[in-house]
Structure 1
Amino acid sequence: MTKVIIFDFDGTLADTIDILLSITNRLSVEFGFKSATKEELAQLSNLNSWQILKYSGISLFKFPLLIRKLKAELRREIPNIQLFPGIKEVLLELKKLDFQLGIITSNSRENVLETLEANGLQGTFTFIYSGSTFGKHKVINRWLKREQINAREVVYVGDEIRDIDAAKKTGIKVIAVSWGFNSQEALAAQNPDFLIESPQELSEIMSNMR
Structure 2
Amino acid sequence: MSNNTTEKKAVVFDLDGTLLYSLEDLKNATNYALKQNGMPERTLDEVRRFVGNGVKLLMERAVPDGADNPKFEKTFSDFKEYYEAHCNDNTAPYDGIMELLKELKLNGIKLAIVSNKLDPAVKELNQLYFKEYMTSAVGEMEEEGIRKKPAPDMVQKALKELQVSAEDAIYVGDSDVDIATAKNSGLECVSVTWGFRDVEFLKEHGATNLIDEPVELLNYV
Structure 2 unaligned blocks of 5 or more: 1-6
Matches within 5 A, 1:40-59: 40-41=46-47, 44=49, 57-59=65-67
CA–CA separation in structure 2 for the residues paired with 1:33 and 1:174? 38
Matches within 5 A, 1:124-203: 124-131=133-140, 135-136=148-149, 137-144=152-159, 149-203=164-218
CA–CA separation in structure 2 for the residues paired with 1:179 and 1:111? 22
Assess if the C-alpha contact under 8 Å between 1:7 and 1:104 holds in 2: yes
Number of residue pairs the alignment of both structures matches: 203
Alignment of 1:8 onto 2:6:
no
Give CA-to-partner distance per residue, 1:55-82, whole Å, 9 cap, x none. 8642178878766654442332225321
The one-letter code matched in structure 2 to 1:126 is T
Give CA-to-partner distance per residue, 1:89-117, whole Å, 9 cap, x none. 11111111110000111223443343344
Give the counterpart of 1:87 among 70, 79, 97. 97
CA–CA separation in structure 1 for the residues paired with 2:58 and 2:116? 18
Q: 1:110 to 1:132 in 2, by over 3 A?
A: closer
The one-letter code matched in structure 2 to 1:108 is L
Indicate the SS of the match to 1:168. helix
CA–CA separation in structure 1 for the residues paired with 2:76 and 2:12? 22
RMSD across aligned positions (CA): 3.3
Assess if the C-alpha contact under 8 Å between 1:75 and 1:111 holds in 2: yes
Match of 2:4 in 1: none
The TM-score with structure 1 as length reference comes to 0.78
Q: 1:69 to 1:194 in 2, by over 3 A?
A: farther
Q: 1:194 to 1:179 in 2, by over 3 A?
A: same
Match of 1:73 in 2: 82
The TM-score with structure 2 as length reference comes to 0.74
Moved more, 107-116 or 47-56: 47-56
Assess if the C-alpha contact under 8 Å between 1:160 and 1:176 holds in 2: yes
Moved more, 180-189 or 21-30: 21-30
Q: 1:63 to 1:192 in 2, by over 3 A?
A: farther
Alignment of 1:102 onto 2:115:
no
Alignment of 1:35 onto 2:63:
no
Match of 1:122 in 2: 131
The one-letter code matched in structure 2 to 1:173 is E
Match of 1:18 in 2: 24
Taking only the aligned residue pairs, the percentage that are identical comes to: 27
The one-letter code matched in structure 2 to 1:118 is L
CA–CA separation in structure 1 for the residues paired with 2:180 and 2:12? 14
Q: 1:160 to 1:116 in 2, by over 3 A?
A: same
Assess if the C-alpha contact under 8 Å between 1:9 and 1:105 holds in 2: yes
